[in-house]
Amino acid sequence: MTSTVTLNDGTIIPQLGFGTFQVPPDEAASTVATALEVGYRHIDTAQGYQNEEGVGRAIADSGIPRDDIYVTSKLTNSKHERDDALRSFDETMDKLGLDRVDLFLIHWPLPTQYDGDIEGTWKVMLELQETGRVTSVGVSNFQPDHLERIISATGVAPVVNQIEAHPFFRNDAARAASHEHAIAVEAWGPLAKGEAVDDPTIREIASELGREPSQVVLRWHVQRGDIIFPKSMHRERMEENFAIFDFGLSDEQMERINGLDRGEDGRQGPNPDTFDRV
Ligand SMILES: NC(=O)c1ccc[n+]([C@@H]2O[C@H](COP(=O)([O-])OP(=O)(O)OC[C@H]3O[C@@H](n4cnc5c(N)ncnc54)[C@H](OP(=O)(O)O)[C@@H]3O)[C@@H](O)[C@H]2O)c1
């Protein structure tokens, strides 16, 4: 059983999903099939992960009604120009084998590429939404000024901003800017790529609660209100990561985890202001 978040367009997303970054293409179908068996009903993929086909196969073979699974994909960095974006979206739908995706995101803002035309890319996303083949559109790795720019150009706010966030990098500036515009935050790398489970404070809180360190970290995210989709290739870990709705952290335990933030030094991924790989 997982909780849900209502997005600013009125649609509903499961707060806990399954991430597929670095799930190899040839293992994607079996890995996602296992995640669906465990109970996950929200899958996060991307054009850049090259595993959309496996994700689609797992969904088709699962026998689970399409509308019971929330599916997200993302526009890859090399396809921001209108024609490329439209064509690559068609390919995404073919690979997923779906006629509708729940959420499609701009993967990275790339402010130093494409003449800095973040607004133009956002307009293409809105055009895609008009076709009815994407229910909701959002962004990923957008900094506060990137959000301001696309909203003032179009008057339309994304439903989510998917950003790096975990105990070592709370990323509260981008979170606050998102919340100001009623944009839900999706925290990628919620386990800090697995490193957070070895942190002594996390382990101490886990032993206080009789839970696993991963569950403590994921529960912290959920209590902050963020949407998460931890990735694992292992069924036991998928099960562990899924079982986070039958306990809670006290305010004091939340504060101890908040104290692990290292600011910019805690960032594990690229800085969106300078990241320019297409
Ligand atoms: N928008 C973006 O730019 C962006 C960037 C990165 C990620 N994402 C999305 O966010 C999702 C999650 O982020 P992520 O995959 O980078 O990192 P993550 O979920 O924080 O961590 C995944 C790592 O933690 C390990 N792990 C998982 N469960 C564990 C547990 N219970 N105990 C110990 N270790 C555990 C996994 O190993 P095993 O697989 O070996 O179990 C893997 O090495 C991605 O899969 C992707 O969907 C988006």
What does the pLDDT look like over 150-208, one tens digit per residue?
999 999 999 999 999 999 999 999 999 999 999 999 999 999 999 999 999 999 999 99
**pLDDT of the residue at 42:** 98
- Determine whether the shortest distance from the Cβ of 87 to ligand 1 is under 6 A: no
pLDDT higher than threshold 80 for residue 263 = yes
234 lines ligand 1 (CB under 6 A): yes
- 114 given a catalytic annotation: no
- Domain membership of residue 243 (yes or no) is yes
pTM over 0.85: yes
Q: Is residue 275 part of a domain?
A: no
Minimal-distance CA residue to ligand 1 atom 4: 188
Strands 18-19 and 42-44: parallel
Instruction: Tell me if 167 is assigned to some domain.
Output: yes
Count up the domains in the chain and report the number: 1
Question: Which amino acid, one-letter code, is at 271?
Answer: N
CA distance readout (Å), 168 to 110, 114, 119, 258, 265: 24, 32, 31, 8, 8
**Ligand 1 within 6 A of CB of 191:** yes
Residue 163 alpha carbon, nearest atom of ligand 1: 1
Q: How many helices (H) and strands (E) does the chain have?
A: 10, 10
CA gap 55, 30 in Å, rounded: 9
**93 assigned to some structural domain:** yes
Ligand 1: centre distance to CA 95 (Å): 23
In a domain, 137, yes or no: yes
CATH of the domain at 48: 3.20.20.100
Domain that holds residue 164: 12-264
Q: What token pair was written down for 198?
A: 């070895």
Q: Who's near 178: CB < 8 A, 6+ residues apart?
A: 147, 161, 163, 184, 185
- Give the separation between CA 197 and CA 121, rounded to whole angstroms: 37
